[in-house]
């Protein structure tokens, strides 16, 4: 019986290989309801001590990481807004002052939110930092990214649509075990908006939950639809209100006018973050910024060009099918012309990786609407599989489109290890009922330095 099944599988594999078809993974996760961790879960616990700083997180404070922005919340009173930092816990002789903000959301009032940019940091150096002076002091550390250069290795974690379920906790644990140096987060953080009145206490629990990683290494934020928090029925009409109060981005350093689109340069990568939920039509600020930004990319210094956005342009899942289409039509040609290496998206709660395909010839009368193999095109990766409460998107379109290389309806995260200007190793890690399993991996070659056909 088992042998016959194996033979059948082999025959199928041969057939698939012959047709050069992509793979729709047959793996099925254990069927169980995705549930948010309860409010008394260990990962949500507030740190002990009066007015103890909580929800500590860091992100780049400038384009390359010689500045780092530290954010935290104090629950009882504003407290001391100074961050002390230095090369060891005993010599935190540098200091910087935070800005303080708060916001109301319907009948919720946030804690005291602090943002403090530590400047004059050196590349590739471990720093210790502490805050909460006068009451409860907490100390953390991070290592600044290496100076940008063409052959500087670096390992990114790729996470999206995380939420705060037991599966979300597995995703973070598996990422920690895989050991990346910074996270490219493709949007949809807390899913607080799934609660009545967008219960913003769930923004607080989320930030306490991820502190164990993001207090120690920068996560780069992309805005997703769950960051909009737009609810006119309860009088909340300021887009992205909780997100912008809580999660700063280094947009000014990138010549941007809004926190939702910006760029950074880490090691050998130039990373462009776009907003699927801000206008991007011709002449809009985001359109104008991107048109100029692509001209600022220097592949000799930062060979890898990576774009982050929330709503995918290539997605063969019936869930959110074609939602990213208008943005694709607006920008795909630019990205192909710029030879972007990878476009990372989330939104669809599944995993999918594309071959190098483009769909830029169609002009409304010529009928050329089918995506075609194109070695100048990026690989599109959907990692909206962080494990949030909305569950898995397991309804893929049939037949599998030619552009799709691999797709699977499971939760997990990915890692991208840039080795040098020509090679990067990409791996997707499925959360397999508690264990982590590498379920898809590929060597990617750089579109500028070695544009070989790498996407099979
Ligand atoms: C979350 O994961 C961490 C690390 O694996 C573990 O210590 C903790 O107990 C988990 N919490 C929940 C609520 O599952
Ligand atoms: C805040 O803490 C720093 C570091 O201990 C100290 O130098 C400063 O005087 C404190 N500020 C206030 C207003 O207490
Ligand atoms: C906000 O309003 C909801 C619904 O009326 C209520 O359940 C909740 O306790 C209120 N929260 C606060 C902080 O007043
Ligand atoms: C999958 O999606 C298609 C297209 O939206 C729909 O017709 C079909 O009913 C869905 N199948 C399931 C099992 O939900
Ligand atoms: C770049 O890295 C790849 C993968 O590790 C390796 O095979 C290749 O030799 C490296 N190139 C150079 C010029 O070192
Ligand atoms: Fe989303």
User: For residue range 161-182, what is the model confidence (pLDDT) as tens digits?
Assistant: 999 999 999 999 999 999 999 9
Substitution candidate for ligand 3 out of 107, 108, 236 with most atoms within 8 A of CB: 107
* Interatomic CA distance for residues 122 and 363, integer angstroms: 49
Closest-CA residue, ligand 5 atom 14, reads 420
Q: What is the pLDDT of residues 441-452, one digit of tens each?
A: 999 999 999 999
- CB of residue 395 inside a 6 A radius of ligand 4: yes
| Distance (Å) from CA 453 to ligand 5 centroid | 17
Instruction: Give the CA radius of gyration of the chain.
Output: 22
Q: What is the pLDDT of residues 113-165, one digit of tens each?
A: 999 999 999 999 999 999 999 999 999 999 999 999 999 999 999 999 999 99
Q: Which residues lie below 8 Å from residue 11, measured CB to CB, with a gap of 6+? A: none
| Token duo for residue 191 | 């899913």
CA distance 22 to 400: 7
CB atoms within 10 A of CB 3: 7
Nearest protein CA to atom 5 of ligand 2, as residue: 133
Confidence at 20, pLDDT banded by 50, 70, 90: low
Model confidence at 13: pLDDT above 50: no
Write out pLDDT tens, residues 349-393. 999 999 999 999 999 999 999 999 999 999 999 999 999 999 999
Q: Is 268 a pocket residue for ligand 5 (Cβ < 6 Å)?
A: no
- The answer, yes or no, to whether any atom of ligand 1 lies below 6 A from the CB of 173, is yes
pLDDT band at residue 435 under the 50/70/90 scheme: confident
Confidence of residue 455 (pLDDT cuts 50, 70, 90): confident
The SS3 call for residue 450 is coil
Q: Indicate the pLDDT class of residue 8, thresholds 50, 70 and 90.
A: very low
Ligand 6: distance of its center to the CA of 351 in Å? Answer: 14
Residue 136's pLDDT is 98
Distances (CA, A) of 367 to 278, 323, 374, 402, 416: 30, 21, 18, 18, 37
Q: How confident is the model at residue 31 (pLDDT cuts 50, 70, 90)?
A: low
- What pLDDT is stored for residue 9 in this prediction? 46
Nearest residue by C-alpha to atom 4 in ligand 1: 173
Cβ of residue 134 lying under 6 Å from some atom of ligand 2:
yes
Q: How far is the CA of 428 from the centre of ligand 4 (A)?
A: 26
Q: How confident is the model at residue 290 (pLDDT cuts 50, 70, 90)?
A: very high
Tell how far the Cα of 165 is from the centroid of ligand 3, in angstroms: 23
Which pLDDT tens digit goes with each residue over 296-311?
999 999 999 999 999 9
Band of residue 281 on the pLDDT scale cut at 50, 70, 90: very high
Q: How far is CA 181 from CA 50, 59, 61, 335, in A?
A: 32, 12, 16, 26
Q: Is the pLDDT of residue 19 over 60?
A: no
Dihedral pair phi/psi, residue 298, rounded to 5°: -120, 100
Tokens of 237: 């009409």
Residue 30 pLDDT grade (very low, low, confident, very high; cuts 50, 70, 90): low
Q: Which ligand is nearest to the CA of 425?
A: 5
Considering every ligand atom, which ligand is closest to the CA of 423? 5
* 288 HSE (CA, 13 A, CB side): 7
Q: Which two tokens stand for residue 3?
A: 């042998």
Provide the β-strand partners of residue 415.
157, 427
Give the integer Cα–Cα distance in Å for 294 and 278: 19
Burial label for 142, CB within 10 Å (0-12, 13-18, 19+), is buried
Kindly give, in sequence order, each residue whose CB lies less than 8 Å from that of residue 5, ignoring residues fewer than 6 positions away.
none
Q: State the average pLDDT for the chain.
A: 94
Residue 1 pLDDT > 60, yes or no? Answer: no
Pocket flag, ligand 1, residue 176 (CB < 6 Å): no
Q: Are 117 and 67 in contact (CB under 8 A)?
A: yes
397 CB under 6 A from ligand 4?
no
133 lines ligand 2 (CB under 6 A): yes
If you average pLDDT over residues 183-194, what whole number do you get? 98
Give nearest CA residue, ligand 4 atom 11: 395
What percent of the chain has a predicted confidence (pLDDT) above 90?
Answer: 91
CA quadruple 71, 264, 62, 67: dihedral sign? positive
Could you give the CA distance from residue 210 to residue 172 in angstroms, rounded to a whole number?
8
Mean pLDDT of 81-107: 98
Mean pLDDT to the nearest integer, 397-418: 97
- For ligand 2, say whether the CB of 108 is within 6 Å of any of its atoms: no
Nearest CA to ligand 2 atom 11: 80
* pLDDT recorded at residue 432: 80
Distance 205 CA to ligand 2 centre (A): 28
Q: Is the pLDDT of residue 456 over 90?
A: no
Contact in structure between 251 and 262 (CB atoms under 8 Å): yes
* Position in ligand 3 atom list of the atom nearest CA 106: 1
CA of 160 to the centre of ligand 3 (A): 30
Of 259, 207, 197, the C-alpha closest to 233 is 197
State the pLDDT confidence band at 2, using cuts at 50, 70 and 90.
very low
Q: Kindly tell me if the per-residue pLDDT of 11 is higher than 60.
A: no
Q: What is the mean pLDDT of residues 282-307?
A: 98
Whose atoms come closest to the Cα of 318: which ligand?
4
Ligand 1, pocket-test mutation among 32, 36, 169, most atoms within 8 A of CB: 169
Which is nearest to 75 in space by CA: 47, 98, 44? 47
Smallest CA separation from ligand 4 atom 5, residue: 318
- Is residue 433 predicted with pLDDT exceeding 80? no
In short, whether 85's Cβ falls inside 6 Å of ligand 2 is: no
Q: Measuring from atom 1 of ligand 4, which residue has the nearest CA?
A: 395
Q: If you ran DSSP here, which 8-state letter would residue 303 be given?
A: -
Res 18 pLDDT > 70: no
- Calculate mean pLDDT across residues 245-266: 98
Q: Give CA–CA dist 202/105, Å, rounded.
A: 12
- Residue 322 beta carbon below 6 angstroms from any ligand 4 atom: no
Distance 185 CA to ligand 2 centre (A): 34
Which atom of ligand 1 approaches the CA of 173 most closely? 5
Active site residues: 320
The pLDDT of residue 17 = 41
For ligand 4, the distance from its centroid to the CA atom of residue 162, given in whole angstroms, is: 24
């Amino acid at each position: 019986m088992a042998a016959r099944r194996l033979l059948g599988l082999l025959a199928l594999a041969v057939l698939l290989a012959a047709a050069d078809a992509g793979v729709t993974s047959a793996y099925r996760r254990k069927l169980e309801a995705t549930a948010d961790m309860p409010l008394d879960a260990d990962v949500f616990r507030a740190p002990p001590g009066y007015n103890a700083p909580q929800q500590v997180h860091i992100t780049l404070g400038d384009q390359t990481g010689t500045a780092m922005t530290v954010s935290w919340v104090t629950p009882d009173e504003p407290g001391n807004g100074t961050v002390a930092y230095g090369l060891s816990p005993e010599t935190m002789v540098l200091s910087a002052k935070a800005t303080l903000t708060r916001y109301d959301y319907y009948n919720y009032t946030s804690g005291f939110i602090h943002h403090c940019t530590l400047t004059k940091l050196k590349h590739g150096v471990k720093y210790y930092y502490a805050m909460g002076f006068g009451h409860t002091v907490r100390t953390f550390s991070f290592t600044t990214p290496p100076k940008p250069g063409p052959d500087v290795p670096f390992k990114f974690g790729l996470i999206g649509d995380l939420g705060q379920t037991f599966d979300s906790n597995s995703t973070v644990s598996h990422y920690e075990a895989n050991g990346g140096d910074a996270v490219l987060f493709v949007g949809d953080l807390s899913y607080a908006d799934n609660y009545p009145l967008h219960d913003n206490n769930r923004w607080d629990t989320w930030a306490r939950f991820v502190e164990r990683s993001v207090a120690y290494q920068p996560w780069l934020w992309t805005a997703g639809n769950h960051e909009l928090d737009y609810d006119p029925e309860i009088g909340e009409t300021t887009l992205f209100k909780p997100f912008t109060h809580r999660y700063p981005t280094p947009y000014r350093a990138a010549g941007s006018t809004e926190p939702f689109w910006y760029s950074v340069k880490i090691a050998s990568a130039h990373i462009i973050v776009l907003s699927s939920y801000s206008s991007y039509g011709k002449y809009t600020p985001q359109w104008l910024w991107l048109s100029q930004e692509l001209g600022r990319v220097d592949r000799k210094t930062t060979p890898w060009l990576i774009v982050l956005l929330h709503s995918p342009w290539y997605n063969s899942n019936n869930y959110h099918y074609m939602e990213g289409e208008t943005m694709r039509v607006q920008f795909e040609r630019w990205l192909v012309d710029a030879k972007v290496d990878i476009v990372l998206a989330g939104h669809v709660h599944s995993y999918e990786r594309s071959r190098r395909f483009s769909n830029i010839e169609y002009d409304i009368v010529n009928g050329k609407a089918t995506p075609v193999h194109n070695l100048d095109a990026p690989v599109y990766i959907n990692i909206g599989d962080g494990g949030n409460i909305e569950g898995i998107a397991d309804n893929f379109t049939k037949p599998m489109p030619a552009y799709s290389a691999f797709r699977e309806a499971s939760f997990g995260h990915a890692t991208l290890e840039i080795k040098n200007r020509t090679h990067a190793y990409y791996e997707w890690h499925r959360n397999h009922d508690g264990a982590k399993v590498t379920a898809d991996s590929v060597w990617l070659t750089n579109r500028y330095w070695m544009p070989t056909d790498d996407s099979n």
